[in-house]
């Protein structure tokens, strides 16, 4: 069986970290005879520079054909002044919505080896294992109408629309309930139902789903409280389900609990389990081109890809074990460096994972 993997390195540190993940994938491809074929395309700022659009037709066509996509990161100061429709981020958002990748899974797992890299006390984060399920193709990111308009008094007003249909809420809810069922059976739905009608409906639909999942304990939390609880006592959470924007914010926060956002992978899936996999972090323009970025989030995203879109559990486990092994060896990129460990470059980290494989 042959499967097509599309690599979208993107901008900033994207090309450096995707290169390492590609080498890791090539290695497991040989070792486990996975039949993976690799192709590459442009997205984000790189695509803007070459084709004047952040999501060229060719890239979208290849993405539709692919069994799975591995993306680095998009964006950077070079393109910050462009109008909204021409921003690199539109490439990423366009891929998410064109492929209907509505279910974004962002695990935040603390590797025991990195407990001291977290800014929180070790006892608060040790053993941390939470999964944020973020709705990715709706909510305020995509709601219409949106824009900047001129008011009669001559002032300009910026506006966006926060809207969710019942079916959008139900399908992300089901993904979260299923995930909770596979884990510890606890699901916390995060909303702002004390202020926003859209999340009153969100809460109602989540509550309704408990009839299908009587074995899962559902709770609700306002987003401001959730942000606080995540740093106060993060281990109270198992699975969190929330909308697009709250999920964007809370997943960065959860990532940092684990020591570095440079460690966290993510999966964005549609209803056919086709998926795009990317590190949770951004393009880090400040360190791009220096060869010091942490490639592990991207390498772990490749592992998620093998597991969720390709059904290659064994190969996924091998990659995850290899990552754990290099951490045991005390190898650290700058973002996770702590006393008694050895600083390595992006390439050296990739080499170490390959060696462990
Ligand atoms: C993320 C990123 C994106 C988002 C940006 C780059 C558009 O922050 O994947 O979390 O807001 O979804
Ligand atoms: Mg984000």
pLDDT tops 90 at residue 85: no
- Mean pLDDT over 80-93 rounds to 93
| 136 CA closest ligand 1 atom index | 12
pLDDT tops 90 at residue 10: yes
| 252 CA closest ligand 1 atom index | 10
**Whole-structure pTM value:** 0.94
- State which of 86, 89, 264, 267 you would mutate to test the pocket of ligand 1, scoring each by most atoms of that ligand within 8 A of its C-beta: 89
pLDDT at res. 118: 86
pLDDT per residue over 55-77, tens digit each? 999 999 999 999 999 999 999 99
pLDDT tops 90 at residue 84: no
Q: Is residue 328 among the annotated active site residues?
A: no
pLDDT at res. 95: 97
Tell me, in angstroms, the distance from the centre of ligand 2 to residue 252's CA.
6
Residue 244 burial class via C-beta count within 10 angstroms: exposed 0-12, middle 13-18, buried 19 and up? buried
pLDDT tops 80 at residue 23: yes
pLDDT at res. 262: 87
| 251 CA closest ligand 1 atom index | 10
Q: Is residue 58 among the annotated active site residues?
A: no
92 Cβ inside 6 Å of ligand 1: yes
Which of 249, 103, 226 has its CA nearest to residue 173? 103
Cβ-defined contacts of 24-31 (< 8 Å, 24+): 24/299, 24/302, 24/319, 24/322, 24/350, 24/353, 24/354, 24/357, 25/70, 25/302, 27/354, 27/357, 28/306, 28/312, 28/315, 28/318, 28/319, 28/357, 31/315, 31/318, 31/357
Of the candidates 248, 277, 308, 335, the residue annotated as catalytic is: 248
pLDDT per residue over 139-156, tens digit each? 999 999 999 999 999 999
pLDDT at res. 94: 96
248 Cβ inside 6 Å of ligand 1: yes
Tell me, in angstroms, the distance from the centre of ligand 2 to residue 70's CA.
17
pLDDT at res. 149: 97
Tell me, in angstroms, the distance from the centre of ligand 2 to residue 153's CA.
35
- Mean pLDDT over 228-257 rounds to 96
pLDDT at res. 18: 98
Residue nearest to atom 6 of ligand 1 (CA): 89
- Mean pLDDT over 221-234 rounds to 98
**Across the strands, what pairs with 91?**
none
Query: Looking at residue 112, what DSSP letter applies?
Result: G
Mean pLDDT of the chain: 96
- Mean pLDDT over 187-192 rounds to 98
pLDDT tops 90 at residue 115: no
Tell me, in angstroms, the distance from the centre of ligand 2 to residue 31's CA.
34
Residue nearest to atom 10 of ligand 1 (CA): 248
Residue nearest to atom 5 of ligand 1 (CA): 89
- 324 three-state secondary structure: helix
5-9, 45-49, 272-276: the lowest-pLDDT one:
272-276
- State which of 242, 248, 266, 285 you would mutate to test the pocket of ligand 1, scoring each by most atoms of that ligand within 8 A of its C-beta: 248
- Report the Cα–Cα distance between both ends of the chain, in Å, rounded: 23
Q: Is residue 49 among the annotated active site residues?
A: no
| 104 CA closest ligand 1 atom index | 9
118-122, 212-216, 221-225, 246-250: the lowest-pLDDT one:
118-122
Query: Looking at residue 357, what DSSP letter applies?
Result: -
pLDDT tops 90 at residue 339: no
How long a stretch of residues is the chain? 357
Residue nearest to atom 9 of ligand 1 (CA): 280
pLDDT tops 90 at residue 338: no
| Closest-approaching ligand to the CA atom of 141 | 1
Tell me, in angstroms, the distance from the centre of ligand 2 to residue 55's CA.
19
């Amino acid at each position: 069986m042959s499967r097509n993997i599309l690599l979208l390195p993107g901008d900033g540190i994207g090309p450096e970290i995707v290169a390492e993940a590609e080498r890791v994938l090539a290695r497991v491809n040989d070792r486990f005879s996975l039949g993976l074929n690799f192709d590459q395309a442009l997205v984000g700022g790189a695509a803007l520079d070459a084709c004047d659009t952040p999501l060229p037709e060719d890239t979208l066509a290849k993405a539709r054909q692919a069994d799975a996509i591995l993306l680095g990161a998009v964006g950077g100061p070079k393109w910050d002044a462009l109008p909204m429709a021409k921003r690199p981020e539109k490439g990423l958002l366009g891929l998410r919505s064109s492929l209907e990748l509505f279910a974004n899974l962002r695990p935040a797992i603390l590797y025991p080896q990195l407990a001291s890299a977290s800014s929180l006390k070790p006892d608060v984060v040790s053993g941390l294992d939470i999964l944020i399920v973020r709705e990715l193709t709706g909510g305020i990111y995509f709601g219409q109408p949106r824009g900047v308009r001129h008011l009669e008094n001559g002032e300009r007003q910026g506006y966006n629309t926060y809207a969710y249909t019942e079916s959008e809420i139900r399908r992300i809810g089901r993904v979260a309930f299923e995930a909770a069922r596979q884990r510890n059976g606890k699901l916390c739905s995060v909303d702002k139902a004390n202020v926003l009608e859209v999340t009153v409906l969100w809460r109602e639909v989540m509550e309704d789903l408990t009839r299908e999942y009587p074995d899962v304990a559902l709770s609700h939390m306002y987003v401001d409280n959730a942000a606080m609880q995540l740093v106060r006592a993060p281990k109270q959470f198992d699975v969190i389900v929330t909308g697009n924007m709250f999920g964007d914010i809370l997943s960065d926060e959860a990532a940092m609990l684990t020591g570095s956002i440079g460690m966290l992978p993510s999966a964005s899936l549609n209803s056919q389990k086709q998926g795009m996999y990317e590190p949770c972090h951004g393009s880090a323009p400040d360190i791009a081109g220096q060869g010091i970025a942490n490639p592990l989030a991207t390498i772990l995203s490749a592992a998620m890809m093998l597991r969720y879109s390709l059904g290659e559990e064994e190969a996924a486990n091998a990659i995850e074990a290899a990552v754990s092994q290099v951490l045991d060896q005390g190898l650290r990129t700058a973002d996770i460096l702590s006393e008694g460990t050895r600083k390595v470059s992006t390439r050296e980290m990739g080499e170490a994972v390959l060696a462990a494989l």
